[in-house]
């Protein structure tokens, strides 16, 4: 294999892996508090921000501005209401690696 071809493959692999890292998301067990109560459910974390809460009934709620710090975040839902989220399975080491 030529050096030029090997270099091209390496660059493509680097870009692909970097893109995966940028789009990293994970689902966590969470305790979610809204104006209507506190719920045990799951939350989706993308790049250190909780972006969505998945309700047990199959519904979901999008959040903005919910940056995770020490396993907790406060964000806003589509109705402008404040939502507090605590990641029950928060791992400080995992966040440091993101």
Residue 11 covered by a domain: no
pLDDT score recorded for residue 97: 40
Residue 62 covered by a domain: yes
Separation between Cα atoms, residue 87 and residue 94, nearest integer Å: 12
Q: Based on the number of CB atoms within 10 Å of its own CB, is 62 exposed (0-12), middle (13-18) or buried (19 or more)?
A: middle
pLDDT score recorded for residue 89: 81
Residue 66 covered by a domain: yes
pLDDT score recorded for residue 5: 72
pTM above 0.75, yes or no: no
Give the structural domain span for 68: 25-97
Separation between Cα atoms, residue 49 and residue 98, nearest integer Å: 11
Separation between Cα atoms, residue 24 and residue 46, nearest integer Å: 6
Domain count, the chain: 1
Which residues of the chain have a pLDDT value below 50? 18-23, 93, 95-98
Q: Give me the residue label for tokens 């689902």.
A: 27
Phi and psi, residue 43, nearest 5°: -135, 145
């Amino acid at each position: 294999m030529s050096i030029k071809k090997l270099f091209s493959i390496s660059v493509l692999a680097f870009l692909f892996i970097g893109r995966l890292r940028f789009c990293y998301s994970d689902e966590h067990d969470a305790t979610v508090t809204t104006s209507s109560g506190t719920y045990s459910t799951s939350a989706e974390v993308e790049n250190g921000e909780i972006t969505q809460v998945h309700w047990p009934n199959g519904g979901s709620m999008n959040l903005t501005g919910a940056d995770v710090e020490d396993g907790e975040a406060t964000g806003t839902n589509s109705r402008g209401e404040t939502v507090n989220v605590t990641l029950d399975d928060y791992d400080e080491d995992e966040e440091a690696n993101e």
